[in-house]
Amino acid sequence: MKFQNEKGEFPRYLGDLRLVKENWQFGDPLPKGWIQVSEYQMQEERYGYVQEFSTLNEIEGNLTEVYKFRKLTAKELARMNNNV
């Protein structure tokens, strides 16, 4: 589970949230300004590409992670091929 804090910092996790509200449990109201972020369903892998975080979008009232494919550099591709 991921969160965005009151300063817009993302990603923040349960441990970060509990630094603000020590006894917070699932189902409790989030601290003021905190938003729960829906995790992204990764797309099928494509050879020569990597999925990287792009932005947060509001989709159907939920804040959701958005990832985009980026083509691997020649150096990254060579390193990947040497580890196969």
Q: Which residues of the chain have pLDDT under 70?
A: 84
Q: What is the pLDDT of residue 20?
A: 94
Write down the pLDDT at residue 19.
95
* End-to-end Cα separation, the chain, in angstroms: 31
CA–CA distances in Å: residue 72 to residues 19, 25, 49 = 37, 40, 5
Residue 39's pLDDT is 78
pLDDT at 84: 56
pTM: predicted TM-score of the whole model, two decimal places: 0.65
Q: Hey, where are the domains in the chain?
A: 2-82
Tokens (6 digits) for 84: 């196969």
Structural tokens at position 35: 């938003």
